[in-house]
Amino acid sequence: KTIIKRMDRDNLNSEDFKEAVELLKEGQLVAFPTETVYGLGGDALDKTAARRIYEAKGRPSDNPLIVHIANIEALKELAVEVPEEAYRLADDFWPGPLTMILKKSDLVPLETTGGLDTVAIRMPSDEIARRLIKESGLYLAAPSANKSGRPSTTKAEHVIEDLDGCVSMIIDGGSSTIGLESTIVDLTGDNPVILRPGFITREMLNQCIGGTEYDKAVLKKEKSDPVVAKAPGMKYRHYAPKGQLTIYEGDTNQVIKAINEAAKQKTEEGFHVGILATEETKNLYSYGDVKSIGTRKNEETIAAHLFECLREFDTSNAAYIFSESFEDNYLGQAIMNRLLKAAGYQVVTID
């Protein structure tokens, strides 16, 4: 049975918190909040714990896990041939929503890295995550705390939906502030390559180390684009709601008109329809279950609510979901990357 405990960042000396630390030390799994999304945590250097993570998530075991650390010395233990750029990035962005891919040391089992000779490392800023790492004295492998293929989790309620009964404990620390998974940058090649866009944008990375490129899979716009993702996890169907999601792009007024027509048609055919709108447009739709994801004046609000909205459409059993699109630069790059995957790259362009 899964223990579910609400925890307060200002009072982490509780018995509940100690129990979480003990469970991790025993090789058990504890889901915990981070500033990006919730993580499904286990001892990163314990092969059995790593196998348990894959099993709980229902995840293919060739999809490597991110190792979470709480101090910079961990880099030297977990990675070899660490380039100088890694330390500069750590200076600027750690603790925070940035993951670096480095050559792994012998300490890290292949079970954790999905058989790769590289390892993904992140130092989260969330106080609960940091204290779990520090007090357990472990490095915590933690993929996003969702069942494989489902939207990532940004609230304990989402984790309970997916993982109740599959993990020893779920720590409820409220909503994740960022709401999208960390930016992943690969530092093992000649140039730094972004494998997954996130809150730390390419522009921010370039101000620190320069020369950062996007992996081709990040810029993929259509299902037929024949690109192979370099982050193994990015090749799987991802973030998908149960209903069929279609993104509409083009002139705003035309997009609203087209979504209204599609929503009217599907509603009349008897389907439950969901519409992913914004504060600016939510009152302009006449059909379906309209959700405002955030305001276009502040992309951070959109990032924070994307996964939650997708999950809510599952709860309301939407068979068809129509979404507006967002500009794919800065944080929008990360938003559109997740939205396009959730839609299986189904986009209607209106010109």
- Min dist CB 226 to ligand TXA, Å, is 19
Select from 34, 201, 325, 337 the one that contacts ligand TXA (CB under 6 A). Answer: 34
Q: Of ligand TXA, Mg ion, none, which one sits near residue 49, judging by CB under 5 to 8 A according to partner kind?
A: none
Cβ(57)–Cβ(117) under 8 Å?
no
Residue 194 or 245: the one with the smaller Cβ distance to ligand TXA is: 194
Distance CA 233, CA 62 (A): 8
Query: Per-residue DSSP letters for 293-317?
Result: ---TT-HHHHHHHHHHHHHHHHHTT
Binding mask 241-280 for Mg ion (x = CB under 5 A): ----------------------------------------
- Residue appearing with tokens 């969702």: 146
Binding mask 120-159 for Mg ion (x = CB under 5 A): ------------------------x---------------
Cβ(46)–Cβ(106) under 8 Å?
no
CB contact set of 9 (below 8 Å; sequence gap of 6+): 127, 128, 173
Touching ligand TXA, residues 77-136 (CB under 6 A)? 99, 101, 113, 116, 118-120, 122, 124
* 168 alpha-carbon distance from chain centroid: 22
Output the CA–CA distances (angstroms, integers) from residue 133 to 67, 73, 172, 349, in the order listed. Answer: 10, 13, 17, 46
- Min dist CB 252 to ligand TXA, Å, is 31
Confirm or reject binding of residue 195 to ligand TXA (CB under 6 A). yes
- Min dist CB 221 to ligand TXA, Å, is 19
Which tokens go with 113?
A: 């890295």
Q: Taking contact as CB under 6 A, which single stretch among the options 210-218, 231-239, 282-290, 328-336 is the one that binds ligand TXA?
A: 231-239
Q: Taking contact as CB under 6 A, which single stretch among the options 163-171, 209-217, 228-236, 245-253 is the one that binds ligand TXA?
A: 228-236
Residue 12 or 234: the one with the smaller Cβ distance to Mg ion is: 234
For β-strands 169-172 and 30-32, DSSP reports them as parallel
Select from 56, 65, 133, 156 the one that contacts ligand TXA (CB under 6 A). Answer: 65
Q: Which residues are registered as beta bridge partners of 185?
A: 100, 194
- Min dist CB 301 to Mg ion, Å, is 22
Cβ(156)–Cβ(172) under 8 Å?
yes
- Residue appearing with tokens 């490129």: 213
Residue 232 or 344: the one with the smaller Cβ distance to ligand TXA is: 232
Distance CA 319, CA 69 (A): 41
Q: What is the CA radius of gyration of the chain?
A: 20
Total of chain residues touching ligand TXA, rule CB under 6 A: 28
Residue 105 or 267: the one with the smaller Cβ distance to ligand TXA is: 105
The helix/strand/coil state of 209 is coil
Residue from 204, 67, 351, 76 nearest 194 by CA: 204
- Residue appearing with tokens 């209106």: 350
Confirm or reject binding of residue 142 to ligand TXA (CB under 6 A). yes
Which spans of this chain sit near ligand TXA (rule: CB under 6 A)? 34, 36-37, 39, 63-66, 99, 101, 113, 116, 118-120, 122, 124, 142-144, 181-182, 184, 195, 231-234
Which spans of this chain sit near Mg ion (rule: CB under 5 A)? 144
